[in-house]
Homo-oligomer: A and B are copies of this chain.
Amino acid sequence: MTKTNEPRPQPVPLQVGMLVYPALTLLDLIGPQTALSMHGQTHLVAKTLDPVMSDSGIAILPTATYDTCPRDLDVLFVPGGMGTADAMEDTATLSFLAARARTASYVTSVCSGSLILAAAGLLDGYRATTHWTSLDVLAAFGVQAERQRVVVDRNRITGGGVTAGIDFGLTLVALLRGETAAELTQLTMEYDPRPPFNAGSPETAAPEVMALARGFIEPVYSRTLAIARRQHAQLRT
């Protein structure tokens, strides 16, 4: 099958701005970053250039600050994580996201990153998704929360929890660079998943596993839900 609409080889490298903040989930970031870095430059953007500690205990070095991040991004991206609640209340972070979203081609997230986009007012009137435990937190912002692996609504692209970032990243590469580029990315990453168990979604996990997962997530869930309700009420008054 000839693909006459494919972009030409050697296009201008993508400019991707990826937010990093304390206690982010690193896999939310690294799935998409691995895919997108094959097609451009990924900027890890934080308040300062100091190391940022992930919620699994790995420290990474940012490459840009809110001031030095390029202005015109192809992609603005926000990962989720145990630190989502703090980021939702951080005015400097929300201002940075709102400013770059004005000129970004795509405004995107994985996992609970969509709660931070919502806190910045960037999902008003859009359909979006998040980690399965956070769908009603997203809904508390008035966002049309959908239980999907990846939701594309105009230029808002949001992925589900953690590993959904790989499906999200390939979807985004296809939109920006065409299907052949996305398939090359998939083959290089050998993304041919073979989960050894069938517990990856609330629809398939056993009840006792669901209970353990909800217990694990509960502190973040309660806090983000309270923030979402308060912020939504403030926006409406």
Chain A contact residues, CB within 8 Å of chain B: 25-27, 30-31, 33-34, 37, 41-42, 44, 51, 56-61, 63, 111, 131-132, 149-150, 160-164, 166-167, 170-171, 174, 179-180, 182-184, 186-197, 199-202, 204-206, 208-210, 212-213, 216-217
Contacts of A51 in B (CB 8 A): 61
- Among all A-B residue pairs, the 6 with the closest Cβ atoms: A161-B190, A192-B200, A183-B199, A193-B193, A192-B201, A191-B200
Residue of A26, A44, A164 ringed by the most chain B CB atoms within 10 A? A26
The closest CB in chain B to the CB of A199 belongs to B183
Contacts of A192 in B (CB 8 A): 149, 160, 163-164, 195, 200-201, 204
Say yes or no: A161 contacts B189, CB within 8 Å. Answer: yes
In the complex the two chains form, what is the Cα distance from A216 to B201 in whole Å? Answer: 35
Contacts of A171 in B (CB 8 A): 196
Say yes or no: B56 contacts A37, CB within 8 Å. Answer: yes
Contacts of A44 in B (CB 8 A): 58
**Smallest CB separation, A211 vs chain B (Å):** 10
Contacts of A197 in B (CB 8 A): 170, 174, 179, 182-183, 186
Say yes or no: A167 contacts B194, CB within 8 Å. Answer: yes
- A187/B166 contact (C-beta < 8 A), A37-B57, A174-B197 known: no
Residue of A171, A182, A183, A209 ringed by the most chain B CB atoms within 10 A? A183
- A186/B182 contact (C-beta < 8 A), A42-B57, A51-B61, A60-B60 known: no
Say yes or no: B196 contacts A212, CB within 8 Å. Answer: no
In the complex the two chains form, what is the Cα distance from A40 to B199 in whole Å? Answer: 21
Contacts of A216 in B (CB 8 A): 184, 188
**Smallest CB separation, A10 vs chain B (Å):** 13
**Smallest CB separation, A116 vs chain B (Å):** 18
Say yes or no: B199 contacts A213, CB within 8 Å. Answer: no
Some 16 contacts from A to B, beta carbons below 8 A apart, are A26-B33, A26-B34, A33-B56, A37-B57, A60-B60, A111-B190, A163-B191, A166-B195, A170-B196, A183-B206, A184-B209, A186-B197, A186-B200, A187-B200, A193-B193, A193-B195
